[in-house]
Structure 1
Amino acid sequence: MFRNRYGIAVALRFHEQPMNKTSFRIALLCSTVVIGAASEYAEARTSHTQRAHAVSKSSAPQTGTKAKPALRHSPSTLEARSDESVHVTGAAYGDGVSNTTPGGGLMPVQTAPRSQSGITRDFIAKMSPTSNVQALIGNLPGVVTYSQDPLGVSGDSLNIRGMNEEQIGYLFEGIPIADPIRYAPYTGTIVDTENLGSVTVSQGSPDVDAPLYNAVGGQITMSEINPSHKAGGYLSLTGGTHSTNKEFLRLETGEIGHSGIRGFVSYSHMSWNNWRGPGGGTRHHTDAKFIKEWGDGNSVSAVFGYNATKYTSYMNPTMAAWNKYGRSYNYDGHYTLGDANYYGLNQSINNAMTVMAPSHFTLSNHLKLNVAPYYVHMFGPAVWGQNISSANSYFGTGAAGNLNLSNLTSDGMATTQAVDPWNQKSSGLNTSLVWSTKYNTLTFGYWYAYTQHEELANYIQTDAQGNSVSGFNNDPIRVADGRILTPWDLNFKQQSNTLYLADTVHLLNDRLQITGGFKATMLSRQGTNLVPGADPYKNAKNYFEPMPEFYASYKLTDHDQIYINGTTAFRAPGSVEVYSQLFDPSSSTAVEQPGNLKPEYSIGEEIGYRHHGFYNAAISFFNYNITNHQVTSYGYLPGTNSLVSEPLNVGGETARGVQAELALGNWHHFSPYLSGQYLHATIDNNYNAGSDYLPTAGKKAPSSPKFTGSIGLRYDDGTFFGNFALRYVDTQYTTFMNDQSLHSYVTSNMTLGYRMQKLGPAKHPTIQLNLVNLGDNNYLSGASSATGNAKATKGVYGSTIKGASPVYVVGGGFAALVSVSTGF
């Protein structure tokens, strides 16, 4: 199945294509090098071990610098006086590892009065350099990532406490980076893993001042490393199975003259073959960051990123297709006349450019100003194969006429490549004033954002080899009067205005902190569709949502904290399908009608305890009530092999449970980690299936496994290092009626590595072996869609409601990757 940006998908025939894989000799070579390097171990061990001990006993945080009290990157009154938000500016080794974070980088110290977990360079640097953010955070409590490939380069599907990625807010350097309409995060386009300093996951609630309006399920905050004060750089080369290779180079300017400005520029290239089925992908990425700091808390940063990724998507099966074909449910590897399932016609092309300038100014001893302007440009196209009729196609609600297509199949159909050149531009400004006294911190802020989205899909006929005749940028198929034959011609505009106010009172010598906050979002949307017969031609909706929040925390000791909170959040309906009709040349009527326009709203409560020190522990109990809960479903269009997505309003949902983490600091070079969650999520209402209601009240919510857990163990003595992680995900229902589910599964990953002291100009050259899905577990990692019922079901009023199967994500198989890296 190929699914474009707005959910249109094509179900394809099943054909097994041999995979082009790199020999495992690379992995064996790495093992040989690691073993051979043991001869250097005795000589280097003393100096490295002493250095590692010195770092682990240091009282400084991992980055060597504390976060500024006044909202360094993601301004948050909740964390105005915490030390947990840190940025890598230097470390013991060239890849940023300092071995100071408990749990091997999986449990940094948290002080915010809510459930919150994170990862740092100590963990990130030891994972595969090909991984995106979703692949990195799967060991944290409450997080279930839907692995789609072992490299972590494709797919951004996850759920946190039963909420999917479209219900999670994503921030990078304090800036919203997800699609502001569909909320897809595309984390692989944002930053290279080698430049990623830390990731913080807030399960359940966003910051009061976060520039988000979809975060009913929590917030994921990504921070980039800060430029070094010294000139130098970092080089990493990776190769492995599935013909994978990645080259990364970062150059550091150091301080430029006596200006106080320092920065870095990096570039990476990556290519791979799909681990199952034909096809593969390429990725080009550039990051740059410059920063100027002066005085007490003054800083101006300039952050830039550009990404160009092109890859063949994976087909997602129904349960019946998975049981019959397993991993062989793939695109066709060779083209034959009329084969719209040919992998060369089905690709995703994601391009993104981000520019941001988060700045912080100390106006007086008590007043600080934070200003964060940004611009994000994302564009396609997405492409997929589709057969259309030359004489009997439709343009909107009317006949398209004779399209005069050549190279027809016997049934009068011609194979085309549908091209969806979506183009989206977003800009915004988040600004706040923070007034602080000994007993009080008051924050007042305003966030404005504007988004424009344009999309004119078209069709290009293919030649006898399955190639598009005129290419993406040339003339597409037109109707008799010269207009482009298109299923949708969309223009979508959005404006958001958000005001927030929060006040934190510090009592009992700062041991007791109480925060009251209020946020109000005003969101205006309008979309037009110029396809003939579109009704409505224009659709608009305005939203106004007040969101109060309350937090309280108390330090029992310098190492123990308890907290309680009550939070609210809302999410405007996601995707353009909610606002516009979508058409197809095979039908004279719209294949997708505007959906339910009610916003999703959540009310949550938490109570928790955490301890930090040599051993680190955190536990929290949570309860959430959600109204107008929205999920996405897919269904086949009659008479076609296309799937269309539709946001569904399920009604109310209640979720409650408990999550916990436990980790140790360095103990004889070992650092273990353990996390887990129990979740009980139920549907509160019967589901409106059209002519009748499904009796779903009281049923378990889809994609909400009861138990999830993770075990991790890190070893690092300064020379040899290794990581092991094991994850368990319980059974998950995938329909509202609980009549279909996917099995529980266990996956495990391992890292082995050797770090030298110095080799000429190379600082701490390192060789690392990453083994992903060690047992090559054959499993489904999650559902990419949910349906009301998989089997025919009798409705509340007695009618029979036809079943529809959910579509599933096939879990990534085994991969072995070898990386050689060094600082200089």
Structure 2
Amino acid sequence: MLSKTMLLASAGSLALLAAPAVHAQAAADASSPADPAASAEQGEEIVIYGTGKVRQEQTINEAALDILPPGSSPLKAVARLPGVALQSSDPFGSYELGTRLSVRGFNQSQMGYTLDGVPLGDMFYNNHNGLHISRAIAAENIARVDVSQGAGSLAIASTSNLGGNLEFISRAPSQELGGEIAATYGMYDTVHLYGRIDSGELSTGTRISLSGVYHDADKWKGYGQQTDRKINGKIVQRIGAATLTGWLNYSLHKERNYADLSPATLDRIGYDLDFLRPDFDTAVRLSQISANQTASAAKRPLPFPTAGLVFPTPYTNVNDTYYDSGGVRSDYLGALTLAVPVTDWLAVSATYYHHDDKGSGGIYTPAVFSPDGFPLSVRTTEYGINRDGGIVNATATLGDHTLQAGYWHEDNDAITDRNYYAVSQSNRPDVTDFLANPFRSDFLTDLTTVTNQFYVSDSWRLSDALTIAGGFKGARVENGITTNAGTPFINGKIAARDWFQPQIGATYRTGGQEFFANYAENMRAYISSFRGPFGTTQVGFEAIRDVLKPETSRTIEAGWRFETGPVRGVLALYDVKFENRLLAAFSGANILGNPSILQNVGSVTSRGVEIAATYRASRAVSLIGSYSYNDSTYDDDTVNGAALVATKGVRTVDTPAHLAKGELNYDDGRFFGNFAGSYTSKRNVTYTGDVTVGGYVLFDAALGYRFPEGGPLAGFELQINAANLFDKKYIAALGSGQFFNTAASLNNTLQAGSPRQVFGTIRKRF
């Protein structure tokens, strides 16, 4: 606590010292678009409804990110959009293992994500081809997010976007010398520090920005912290008419996990159930009792006679909870882009990017004892990613036609290892560290992914009112695995390919009204992960390699964008067919690590409606609201091994039928604030729908003040944020320990939502 107080005091002192030195510069920049007060006076829209787009698409701008508690994931800002469901166990949406995003019934790993055009993979916690946006860049450095709920762009560098895409665009270095310092302190000993400096445009035509983040937050229950360290750098260089842009981002992310819950543990123990640390003795005793029960059932002598056979209240099972669990990720992500206007009708750009990741997720397990017989060990799943890629795009404007073509190639060499580390009374490894010297390895694997994708498109403006856009993309993704040691021993390759994935759409604009329609087909490639075709035995892999089909989707959507006086918004309808759904059939508790068999289990039909609108009552006051209804059901019963699971006609797991959101925003240049509420209806936990979690309503609020220009505190801001304002108890993320067929097979797989948390921020822009 003392060290955090000193950090906050230091940040505040730096801001105060900076005030007189930059006061004149701040006054000179008062009318700059980057100036927050000026932006407010210009009536900047928080949500932009995609005018001119042939598909359902919205843009979230920088103002929507600024109003969030500092340290929040950009996904928190996106969650205000229709059709987007976001749940997280923490108030920031940055705790990766407990955060789930779904759109129109598609889950997080079935969408596409990029940062400045660079692919982030499917953003799943078990890294294999990318990283989460919360690690890729500091949220304060994001300028906007373009969200497509349906088909997604042909040009996006993704092979997972069955259900749309999120494209994150970072802030460019400012044209003027300046920067920002911000310090946040809040409940559960939360400290968030952010600093940024912009060089302005130098005489060489160069602009540079450099920023850093220091973030620590105690868990709201249990033991431990969530920790983030980030450094982001970006440079823009003019080279004649061309522009060279380079950026490099570093992240060190540590998270101590929240325990997964089940309906049984919720009833018996409640929302506050978490991992046992620092209560080591109870964790040891639970493991000993479990071993005794196993021995007793086999009529063998008890290995730990003093522990007995009965679990201490309130526990009834060794898997109710464990001693500790957490993870660590270290990432370097960087890119170079050269954009060249070749002629007045042709522009080309080329991007090279590199990503290096090292990660580990660990848990204290009673399933494997340490070598000396101590009844616990630390089981880790360790990850590594080394990927390089290149993207080339060209745009030609020929009369009424805008032609585009592009190519994307990526080589990804990854590892996934399963190791065990010894535990004793005097040796308790930290699950948020990179550990060394395992006593056992279940498997050591090398994984490869080679991606080749292209697209061509044409946007044809037939008149001032009517535009037709169409094209197609093609992709081939080859996944390979080499097992260097361990069981199951599996080697081989599998490829997904579809060289023709068409998309065609149109917009028609008359007055302030615009109508759009779009048809698109997409394919999701296999993944080089044990969540994919490699999560089985060699025999199992050979059985599926030639018969497995990649997941595909067909999306039809149409809508109306309207603008009537102070009201603007969108109404959209969609029909989606999701085919060749892949499901891994597991057996036993997730911690046991049993192999699975991936199989195609039929299709899903999703139909729905989305409506969103902004009412600008004045330059200072705006109201934003949205409602979406989604009817997403399984078309087939599911075959799980030899068993038939009755899923036909059942709503898909973790898919709310109703989402309703509303917010009031105020910004007069000095005072600003936000009051937002959202409703999420009930969701299925099991594939058969015999276990559900109830719907809930959450409210967040923010209030701030900017000191006036010309005064001694010019450029300073104060901001207070409250997340879950009315302290609602609810279940947030589902499927943290996978999904299950029925209540009878259900294990711990629910995450409790964060209680009310309040944060205060002081910020200095100069």
TM interval, shorter chain, is 0.7 to 0.9
102, 125, 142: which one pairs with 1:159?
A: 102
State the shift of 1:533 in Å. 5.4
Map 1:777-792 onto structure 2 (within 5 A). 777-784=728-735, 787=739, 789-791=741-743
Q: Give the root-mean-square deviation of aligned CA atoms.
A: 3.3
**Whole-angstrom CA distance in 2 between matches of 1:774 and 1:332:** 28
Deviation at 1:380, TM superposition (A): 1.0
The one-letter amino acid paired with 2:105 is G
| Secondary structure in 2 matching 1:158 | strand
Task: Please name the residue that 2:290 is paired with.
Answer: none
Following superposition, the deviation at residue 99 of structure 1 comes to 5.9
1:505 corresponds to 2:490: no
Structure 2 unaligned regions, length at least 5: 13-26, 288-318
Structure 1 Cα separation of the partners of residues 541 and 694 of structure 2? 33
Contact 1:273 1:279 (8 Å CA) reproduced: yes
> Which whole-Å CA distance do the structure 1 matches of 2:642 and 2:133 have between them?
40
Q: 2:250 aligns with which of 301, 306, 315?
A: 306
Q: CA offset at residue 191 of structure 1? A: 1.3
What do the CA deviations read for 1:670-701 (whole angstroms, capped 9, x no partner)?
11001110111111111112113223222222
State the 1:594 CA deviation: 7.9
When the two structures are aligned, how many residues end up with a matched partner? 701
Unaligned runs of 5+ residues in structure 1 are 1-18, 31-47, 56-62, 65-89, 391-402, 479-484, 584-588, 793-802
Quote the residue 1:565 is aligned against.
518
Give the Cα separation in 1 of the matches to 2:409 and 2:502: 19
Contact 1:545/1:570 (8 A) holds in 2? no
Matched residue, 2:510: 556
Greater CA deviation, 280-289 or 733-742? Answer: 733-742
Which residue in 2 is equivalent to 1:529? 483
Task: Please state how far the C-alpha of 1:665 moved relative to its aligned partner.
Answer: 3.1
Shift of residue 818, structure 1, vs aligned partner: 0.3
**In the superposition, relative to structure 1, how do residues 545 and 804 fare at CA in structure 2: closer, same or farther (>3 Å)?**
farther
Amino acid at match of 2:137: V
Q: What whole-Å deviation, never above 9, does each CA across 1:457-493 have from its counterpart, x for those lacking one?
A: 3222123145239996675244xxxxxx211111001
Distance in 1 (alpha carbons) for counterparts of 2:586 and 2:535: 16
Instruction: Give per-residue Cα distances to partners, 1:97-134, cap 9 Å, x unaligned.
Output: 666333xx134553311111231122211111110122
Asked if the contact 1:264–1:290 (Cα under 8 Å) also holds between the matched residues in 2, the reply is: yes
Q: Deviations over 1:580-606 (max 9, x none)?
A: 3579xxxxx999998984211000111
1:128 aligns with 2:66: no
> Against the structure 1 CA distance between its residues 454 and 151, is the aligned structure 2 distance closer, same or farther, given a 3 Å change threshold?
same
TM-score, normalization by structure 1 = 0.79
In structure 2, what is the Cα distance between the partners aligned to 1:140 and 1:253? 35
Distance 2:268 2:247 in 1: 48
Partner of 2:232: 287
Q: TM-score scaled to structure 2, two decimals?
A: 0.85
Contact 2:536 2:595 in 1 (8 A): no
The match for 2:23 is none
Cα 1:109/1:320, change in 2 over 3 Å: same
Q: Which amino acid aligns with 2:741?
A: N
Q: Which amino acid aligns with 2:44?
A: T
Q: CA deviation at 1:424?
A: 0.5
Q: Does 1:193 align with 2:139?
A: yes
CA distance in structure 2 between the partners assigned to 1:817 and 1:424 by the alignment = 35
Partner of 2:207: 262
**Residues 499 and 520, structure 1, Cα contact 8 Å, conserved in 2:** yes
Q: Which residue is 2:20 aligned to?
A: none
Q: For residues 723 and 469 of structure 1, what CA distance do their matches in structure 2 show?
A: 40
1:402-424 alpha-carbon deviations (Å, 9 max, x no partner) = x8x33x34xxx3x2223333110
User: Would you say 1:580 and 2:559 are equivalent positions?
Assistant: no
| Aligned-pair CA distance for 1:159 | 0.6
Q: Which string of whole-angstrom CA distances, capped at 9 and with x for unpartnered residues, describes residues 348-383 of structure 1?
A: 101111101233211011111021211111211222
In 2, Cα distance between equivalents of 1:147 and 1:593: 38
Counterpart of 1:424 in structure 2 is 385
Q: Which residue of 2 aligns with 1:373?
A: 352
Task: Please tell me whether residue 621 in structure 1 is matched to residue 573 in structure 2.
Answer: yes
Aligned to 1:710: 661
Alignment correspondent of 1:9: none
The AA in structure 2 aligned to 1:269 is Y
**Equivalent residues of 1:312, 1:343 under 8 A apart:** no
Could you report, residue by residue, the CA deviation over 1:228-284 in whole angstroms, capped at 9, with x for unpaired residues? 11111100000000100011110111112x211111000110111001211112211
Go from structure 1 to structure 2 and tell me whether the alpha carbon gap of 1:417 and 1:590 turns closer, same or farther (over 3 Å shift). farther
Matched, 1:239 2:215: no
Q: Does the 8 Å CA contact 1:216/1:602 hold for their aligned counterparts?
A: yes
What is the match of residue 382 of structure 1?
361
In structure 2, do the counterparts of structure 1 residues 233 and 372 end up closer, same or farther at CA, with 3 Å as the change threshold? same
* Conserved 8 A contact 1:431-1:447: yes
Match of 2:274 among 313, 330, 334: 330
Q: Which amino acid aligns with 2:646?
A: P
**What is the deviation of 1:184?**
7.0
Mapped contact 1:634–1:807 kept (Cα < 8 A): no
**Contact 1:529–1:580 (8 Å) recurs in 2:** no
Q: Does 1:541 align with 2:514?
A: no
Alpha-carbon contact 2:555-2:576 (below 8 Å) kept = yes
Asked whether the 8 Å contact 2:360–2:380 carries over to 1, the reply is yes
CA distance in 1, matches of 2:442, 2:541: 10
Aligned match of 2:582: 630
Q: Does 1:209 align with 2:160?
A: no
Identity %: 21
C-alpha contact (below 8 Å) 1:134/1:157 kept by paired residues: no
Aligned to 2:688: 737
Structure 2 counterpart of 1:517, from 471, 474, 493: 471
Query: In the aligned structure 2, how far is the partner of 1:245 from the partner of 1:110?
Result: 40
Partner of 2:134, secondary structure, is helix
Q: Following superposition of structure 1 onto structure 2, how do residues 476-495 of structure 1 map, counting pairs within 5 Å?
A: 476-478=437-439, 485-495=440-450
Q: Which moved more, 1:227-236 or 1:688-697?
A: 688-697
Deviations for 1:173-196, whole angstroms, at most 9, x for unmatched residues?
111113587567512101112111
Partner SS for 1:328 = coil
In the alignment, what sits opposite 1:82?
none
Alignment correspondent of 1:118: 59
| C-alpha distance in structure 2 between counterparts of 1:247 and 1:512, whole Å | 49
Distance 2:409 2:65 in 1: 33
For residue 433 of structure 1, what is the aligned residue in structure 2? 394
